[in-house]
A and B are shown apart, each in its own frame.
Chain A
Amino acid sequence: MQNFEKTFSDSLPDAEEWRAARDRVLLYVRALDAPPLKDLELALESLGAAPSASPCDAMEALFGILEAHGLDQHPSGNSGDRLTSFPPINRGVMVAEPMDRVPWKTALVRSLRRRGRELLAGERAR
Chain B
Amino acid sequence: MKAPDNTAIPSWRRAGNRRRISLLFLVLLPTITSSYTMARLLPDRASIVLDALLVTVFGILFAWISVGFWAFMGGLFVLLTKRDRFRVSKSCDGRDFSIPDAEARTAILIPIYNEEVNRVFAGVRTVYRSLKQTGSLDRFDIFLLSDSTSPDVWVEEEEAWHDFRREEEGTEAHVFYRKRDNNIKRKSGNVADFCRRWGKNYRYMIVFDADSVMTGESMVRLVQIMEDRPDIGIIQTLPLAVNRETLIARVQQFANHVQGPLLAAGLHFWQLGDAQYCGHNAILRVEPFMKHCQLPRLPGKGTLSGDILSHDFVESALMCRAGYGIWLAYDIEGSYEETPPTLLDELKRDRRWCQGNLQHMRLIFTRGFFPAHRALFLNGILTYGSALLWLTFLIVNSAQAVSEALFEPIYMPILRKILPILPVWRPHWALSLLGSTTLLLFLPKLLSALPILVKDFRARMYGGPICLYLSVLLEVVLSMILTPIRMIFHSLFIISTLLGKSIGWGTQSRDDRGTTWKEAFAAHWWGTLLGAAWGGIVYWIIPSFFWWISPMIISLGLSIPISVVTGRASVGRFFRKLGLFLIPSEVRLPPILQDLEDNLERPPRYSPFGHSRKQGFLRAVVAPRTHSLHVAMLGRRTHEKASSKRREARKQLVEKALLLGPDALSAKEKNALLRDTERLRELHRGVWTLEDEEKAALWGLAMTRER
Q: Which of A8-16, A26-34, A108-116, A117-125 contacts B (4 or more CB under 8 A)?
A: A26-34
- Min CB distance B172 to A, Å, is 13
Choose one: A30, A32, A83; the contact of B632 (CB below 8 Å): A83
Complex CA–CA separation, A123 to B691 (angstroms): 91
Complex CA–CA separation, A63 to B624 (angstroms): 11
Residues in chain A near residue B197, CB distance under 8 A: 86, 89-92
Residues in chain B near residue A19, CB distance under 8 A: 703
Chain A residue at minimum C-beta to C-beta distance from B171: A78
Tell me the chain A residues, 47-85 only, with Cβ under 8 Å from chain B: 54-56, 59-60, 63, 72-76, 81-85
Complex CA–CA separation, A121 to B625 (angstroms): 77
Encoded as 1 (CB less than 8 Å from any B CB) or 0, chain A from 11 to 46 comes to 000000001100110011011110000000000000
Residues in chain B near residue A85, CB distance under 8 A: 158, 161, 176-178, 633
Residues in chain B near residue A75, CB distance under 8 A: 162, 628-629, 632
- Inter-chain contact A63/B703, CB cutoff 8 Å: no
User: Interface size on B (CB < 8 Å)?
Assistant: 54
Complex CA–CA separation, A68 to B556 (angstroms): 71
Q: Which of B2-10, B400-408, B604-612 contacts A (4 or more CB under 8 A)?
A: B604-612
- Inter-chain contact B296/A24, CB cutoff 8 Å: no
Residues in chain B near residue A73, CB distance under 8 A: 628
Residues in chain B near residue A90, CB distance under 8 A: 197-198, 200-201
Residues in chain A near residue B368, CB distance under 8 A: 100
Interface class of chain A by DSSP: loop
Task: Give the number of A-B contacts (CB < 8 Å).
Answer: 126
Q: Is B685 an interface residue, CB under 8 A from the partner?
A: yes
User: Interface size on A (CB < 8 Å)?
Assistant: 44
- Min CB distance A45 to B, Å, is 17
Tell me the chain B residues, 278-313 only, with Cβ under 8 Å from chain A: 290-292, 294-296
Residues in chain A near residue B292, CB distance under 8 A: 97
Given contacts A28-B624, A56-B691, A103-B365, contact A87 B198 (CB under 8 A): yes
Tell me the chain B residues, 109-159 only, with Cβ under 8 Å from chain A: 141, 143, 158
Q: Is A102 an interface residue, CB under 8 A from the partner?
A: yes
Given contacts A75-B629, A90-B197, contact A56 B689 (CB under 8 A): yes
- Inter-chain contact A32/B176, CB cutoff 8 Å: no
Q: Is A1 an interface residue, CB under 8 A from the partner?
A: no
Q: Is B367 an interface residue, CB under 8 A from the partner?
A: yes
- Min CB distance A120 to B, Å, is 28
Q: Is B318 an interface residue, CB under 8 A from the partner?
A: yes
Choose one: A32, A86, A94; the contact of B290 (CB below 8 Å): A94
- Inter-chain contact B162/A55, CB cutoff 8 Å: no
Given contacts A31-B623, A32-B624, A92-B199, contact A74 B295 (CB under 8 A): no
Complex CA–CA separation, A54 to B689 (angstroms): 9
- Inter-chain contact A63/B200, CB cutoff 8 Å: no
Given contacts A28-B688, A74-B631, A87-B176, contact A33 B625 (CB under 8 A): yes
Q: Is B690 an interface residue, CB under 8 A from the partner?
A: yes
Residues in chain A near residue B363, CB distance under 8 A: 99, 101
- Min CB distance A40 to B, Å, is 14
Complex CA–CA separation, A5 to B625 (angstroms): 33
- Inter-chain contact A94/B192, CB cutoff 8 Å: yes
Encoded as 1 (CB less than 8 Å from any A CB) or 0, chain B from 166 to 184 comes to 0000000100111000000
- Inter-chain contact B294/A94, CB cutoff 8 Å: yes
Residues in chain A near residue B688, CB distance under 8 A: 24, 28, 59, 63
Chain A residue at minimum C-beta to C-beta distance from B290: A94
Complex CA–CA separation, A92 to B634 (angstroms): 24
Complex CA–CA separation, A44 to B75 (angstroms): 74
Complex CA–CA separation, A31 to B367 (angstroms): 61
Residues in chain B near residue A91, CB distance under 8 A: 196-197, 200
- Inter-chain contact B633/A24, CB cutoff 8 Å: no
- Inter-chain contact A95/B632, CB cutoff 8 Å: no
Residues in chain B near residue A27, CB distance under 8 A: 608-609, 701
Chain A residue at minimum C-beta to C-beta distance from B700: A27
- Inter-chain contact A55/B296, CB cutoff 8 Å: no
Residues in chain A near residue B628, CB distance under 8 A: 72-75
Q: Is B500 an interface residue, CB under 8 A from the partner?
A: no
Tell me the chain B residues, 176-235 only, with Cβ under 8 Å from chain A: 176-178, 192, 195-201
Among A31, A33, A75, A106, find the residue whose CB has the most chain B CB atoms closer than 10 A.
A31
Residues in chain B near residue A55, CB distance under 8 A: 689-691, 696
Choose one: B362, B609, B631; the contact of A101 (CB below 8 Å): B362
Contacts A/B (CB < 8 Å), 9 sampled: A63-B685, A74-B631, A83-B629, A90-B200, A91-B200, A94-B195, A94-B290, A96-B295, A101-B362
Q: Name 10 extra pairs, CB < 8 A, besides A20-B703, A56-B689, A74-B629.
A: A24-B701, A32-B625, A56-B690, A63-B685, A75-B628, A86-B178, A86-B197, A89-B198, A91-B197, A100-B368
